[in-house]
Amino acid sequence: MTATPDSAIPHAAENRVIEPLYAEILRRNQGEKEFHQAVREVLETLGPVLAQRPEFVDARIIERITEPERQLIFRVPWSDDSGDIHVNRGFRVEFSSSLGPYKGGLRFHPSVNLGIVKFLGFEQIFKNALTGMPIGGGKGGSDFDPKGRSDAEIMRFCQSFMTELHRHLGEYTDVPAGDIGVGGREIGFLFGQYKRITNRFESGVLTGKGLGWGGALVRTEATGYGCVLFTAEMLRSRGESLDGQRIAVSGSGNVAIYAIEKAQQLGATVITCSDSDGYVVDEKGIDLALLKEIKEAGRGRVAEYAERRAEAVFVPGTGVWNVPCDVALPCATQNELHEADALTLVRNGVKAVAEGANMPTTPEAVRVLQEAGVAFAPGKAANAGGVATSALEMQQNASRDSWTFSHTEERLAEIMRHIHDSCYTTAERYGRPGNYVVGANIAGFELVADAMLAQGLI
Ligand code: NDP
Ligand code: 2IT
């Protein structure tokens, strides 16, 4: 997916504090388009809080929070099943430890580069703050492409990756988890290698672990479930519910599958899902058991879903947002919902859009949705259920306990309600009622900035 081009902050001419700071960030981080986009989206909303809290400006919080505490880039050599040698690049950006150990996923996808990891790590700082849990922000990954690789190849890659990364991790230091291309299988291989090298069964060093060896119930479901629970809260604040709504979902990975599951549990009909080959439309409602069989068990493609289900059609390429819906949940990747898509969604009467993925909606598309009065939830609020449940996994690991599914799901629901309410009330407090982008950015920023002030110049 393409990023929007670099440009000055739109509508920021009036903001004399932020504009030069953003120009300097562009200059110092050249070519990192997704990072620029993520920073711009936050800075655009901070004017009012900087005006009310001049101590943040004096302490140079913006300059410090946009500069990662540490950026690691390393070589990951591995050999495939034929004995051919490959060299990938590994990344871990340890962005902010103001609120706790660095926390955030690992992404294995050929598009991964430093700018992508920095955008994800930057978003993670505020997302993690919003959860109310003691976790800092980080992100990592590799440009390794897991598609078509055998389990043995995945294992050798994960072992090589962890052989370098392990020295930077620890339950009090940096705690990775999954993201695109990294699920339970990869976390298993990474954990095994960490344990072998360090000779420590340190459960709290990774989250998303298997249930028999330190994993937590609900972590697998948490991001998708949380996104739908957040959507339900947004609709509730407008006097509506998810019951009976038509929902379009993009993606068919971890987040998409469990967003579909929770939406169906709450009485909605999910009519689409997708992967990078195309999308499926199933007017009768996605058959989730079939989708799980194809995607989770078989690691197959969504095209196969339409081959196996008479009610469904497969459409190659992008275009899922042309399917009329009441609610849209982009759950695949960054910049997958463009201005033209937003115009189509609005024309088709969409009521709510919630980002299951990180930054899937381009800034132009966000503007279209907000101006049309659509309830729009940014990823740092809507998809925070995943990392929040990772923090619950850490809590269980620290106390050597394991909670039931229903107890953990209730905690997740409480956390999502808390995030919704703090975004909602913060937006109101700063004179932008209903603007969850403003609410999420300011609420997250205030928590981190206050901690930075308290901890001195570091
Ligand atoms: P998965 O690897 O399980 O699934 C990713 C899905 O998105 C697949 O359907 C994949 O299709 C599609 N996709 C990935 N890249 C592209 C691309 N460049 N173009 C089109 N489709 C693409 O990842 P997750 O479900 O875990 O992650 C999805 C999103 O949610 C990401 O933005 C991630 O950062 C975010 N997220 C994940 C969390 C988690 O706990 N896992 C938590 C919070 C956010 P294909 O198979 O064809 O590549
Ligand atoms: O983007 C995200 O929040 C994640 N990929 C989950 C991070 C985590 O540490 O659980």
- Among protein residues, the one whose CA lies closest to atom 3 of ligand 2: 387
Residue 13 reports pLDDT greater than 70: no
- The architecture that CATH gives domain 1-67+434-458 is Orthogonal Bundle (1.10)
For residues 9 and 458, give the distance between their C-alpha atoms in angstroms, rounded to a whole number.
28
CATH number for the domain running over 222-373:
3.40.50.720
Residue 11 reports pLDDT greater than 60: no
Find the mean pLDDT for residues 156-169.
98
User: Cβ distance 397 to 237 under 8 Å?
Assistant: no
Find the mean pLDDT for residues 20-28.
95
The reply to whether 127 belongs to the active site is no
386 C-alpha to center of ligand 2: Å?
6
Closest ligand 1 atom to the C-alpha of 183?
3
User: Cβ distance 426 to 108 under 8 Å?
Assistant: no
Q: Would you state the pLDDT for residue 356?
A: 98
State the CATH class of domain 70-202.
Answer: alpha beta
For residues 83 and 1, give the distance between their C-alpha atoms in angstroms, rounded to a whole number.
33
Find the mean pLDDT for residues 129-139.
98
Q: Which ligand is nearest to the CA of 222?
A: 1
Closest ligand 2 atom to the C-alpha of 387?
10
Find the mean pLDDT for residues 128-137.
98
317-353 tens-digit pLDDT: 999 999 999 999 999 999 999 999 999 999 999 999 9
User: Cβ distance 165 to 141 under 8 Å?
Assistant: no
178-209 tens-digit pLDDT: 999 999 999 999 999 999 999 999 999 999 99
Mean predicted lDDT score pLDDT of the chain = 96
Q: Would you state the pLDDT for residue 6?
A: 38
Are both 70-202 and 222-373 of the same fold? yes
User: Cβ distance 202 to 382 under 8 Å?
Assistant: no
- Among protein residues, the one whose CA lies closest to atom 7 of ligand 1: 332
Domains of the chain by residue range: 1-67+434-458, 70-202, 222-373
Instruction: Please report, rounded to a whole number, the percentage of residues in the chain having pLDDT higher than 70.
Output: 97
Q: Which ligand is nearest to the CA of 259?
A: 1
107 C-alpha to center of ligand 1: Å?
9
Q: Would you state the pLDDT for residue 5?
A: 38
- Strands, DSSP E only, in 317-434? 327-330, 352-354, 375-377
* DSSP summary character for residue 130: H
Find the mean pLDDT for residues 206-225.
98
Which of 8-17, 87-96, 227-236 shows the lowest mean pLDDT across its residues? 8-17
CA 175 to chain centre: 16
* 231: enclosing H helix or E strand: helix 219-237
246-285 tens-digit pLDDT: 999 999 999 999 999 999 999 999 999 999 999 999 999 9
Which of 193-197, 295-299, 385-389, 449-453 shows the lowest mean pLDDT across its residues? 295-299
- Ligand 1 within 6 A of 330 CB? no
Residue with token string 């871990």: 92
Marked catalytic residue, from 103, 139, 195, 209: 139
User: Cβ distance 90 to 161 under 8 Å?
Assistant: yes
Find the mean pLDDT for residues 61-85.
98
Which of 12-16, 138-142, 166-170, 431-435 shows the lowest mean pLDDT across its residues? 12-16
Residue 234 reports pLDDT greater than 80: yes
Residue 107 dihedral angles phi and psi, to the nearest 5°: -115, 125
Pocket perturbation via mutation, ligand 2, pick of 118, 387, 397, 419 by most ligand atoms within 8 A of CB: 387
296 C-alpha to center of ligand 1: Å?
13
Q: Would you state the pLDDT for residue 53?
A: 95
DSSP states of 86-114: EEEEEEEEEEE-SSSSEEEEEEE-TT--H
Q: Would you state the pLDDT for residue 217?
A: 98
Tell me the pLDDT band of 81, cut-offs 50, 70 and 90: very high
Find the mean pLDDT for residues 205-221.
98
* Residues counted in the chain: 458
274 C-alpha to center of ligand 1: Å?
10
Closest ligand 2 atom to the C-alpha of 383?
3
Q: Would you state the pLDDT for residue 16?
A: 76
Q: Which ligand is nearest to the CA of 256?
A: 1
175 C-alpha to center of ligand 2: Å?
10
For residues 449 and 359, give the distance between their C-alpha atoms in angstroms, rounded to a whole number.
22
Residue 8 reports pLDDT greater than 50: no
